[in-house]
Amino acid sequence: MIRRAAIVAVLAAAIGACAGGGGKPSAAPRHSITHGAPRSSIVVVPEVMAPQGLGGVIGSPAAALTRRFGTPRIDLAEGDARKLQFTGPVCVLDIFLYPVSAASEPTATHVEARLRQGGAPADPGACIREVEAQRARS
């Protein structure tokens, strides 16, 4: 019986050591949300929309899109992906950028458009023209 109690005590001490709490506080995480995730050498190739009717947006990098449409309302990066949002008087244009090969610059692969009032889907080509026209007036 004493032998069994000794084994239980040794096991309890070993389990307690595994649980931690006895060492130095751990250092800050290597990757913080504010600095973004590291670029991966593994790329999942996104499905790229057909460019018909999208006025040359598909395949464009962010710099070209901001030159064309102006400062985005939203510029959101998450890992290797990026979302730029532009608005016109009637519509909202979301452009999603992803790298299409390892270590490549993210380019526009998908576009969504919706009405500002109510959020119903809108024609992406018409929304692109509206945002461009608003940029020209500014």
**Residue 118's CATH number:** 3.30.1450
13 pLDDT above the threshold of 90:
no
Supply the pLDDT for residue 40: 54
Residue 20 lies in a domain: no
Residues present in the chain in total: 138
What are 117's two structure tokens? 């009032």
pLDDT for 126 beyond 90: yes
Write down the mean pLDDT value for the chain: 77
- Residue 128: in which H helix or E strand, if any? helix 124-137
Residue 116 lies in a domain: yes
Q: Determine the Cα angle at 45 with ends 74 and 125, to 5°.
A: 50
Measured between alpha carbons, how far is 44 from 72 in angstroms, rounded to an integer? 26
The string of pLDDT tens digits covering residues 64-89 is 999 999 999 999 999 889 999 999 99
Q: 10 Å Cβ neighbour count for 122?
A: 19
This prediction's pTM? 0.66
Q: Specify the number of domains making up the chain.
A: 1
Nearest-CA neighbor of 96 among 115, 82, 78, 106? 82
Q: How far apart are CA 91 and CA 123, in angstroms?
A: 9
Q: Note the pLDDT tens digit of each residue in 27-40.
A: 443 333 333 445 55
Is residue 115 included in any domain, yes or no? Answer: yes
Residue 122 is assigned to a structural domain of this protein: yes
pLDDT digits (tens, 9 = 90+) for 45-62: 667 767 677 889 999 999
Alpha carbons within 13 angstroms on the beta-carbon side of residue 73 total: 12
Written as one letter, the residue type at 1 is M
Whether 117 is covered by a domain: the verdict is yes
Boundaries of domain holding 87: 45-137
- Using the Cα atoms of residue 121, residue 134, residue 136 and residue 66 in order, give the sign of their dihedral: negative
